[in-house]
Structure 1
């Protein structure tokens, strides 16, 4: 019988998934926008919309960063 992996840790034989910053921010923005659209609670809608706007600004800043001008947010190396 093998020992289970402790909570919060991944087994050493699994590969780490690398997600480009731009794709991750787009997914987060999309999720926040969907929550803003679907929530029945006005405060939740407002805060989710604020998060979506903030993530959009962050994404634009990442795209405009000096190291990412031609790489569309892709890390080199």
Structure 2
């Protein structure tokens, strides 16, 4: 399991990646401790790929929101 926390566009993003089944990885994240988003229907082939997918999705969502104050 890996975890990444950072601020983007004034919003706090918290990403978690967990191993679902042998070598398959799920991810989920929150933005500002709200807006829970996950992808468990299509596990990634590696932990790094799951983290990259989650970051890309979270960044897109944070960039589309009004600037936060984090």
TM-score range, shorter chain: 0.3 to 0.5
Using the size of structure 1 for normalisation, the TM-score is: 0.31
Choose 1 or 2 for highest CA Rg: 1
**Higher helix proportion, which one?**
1
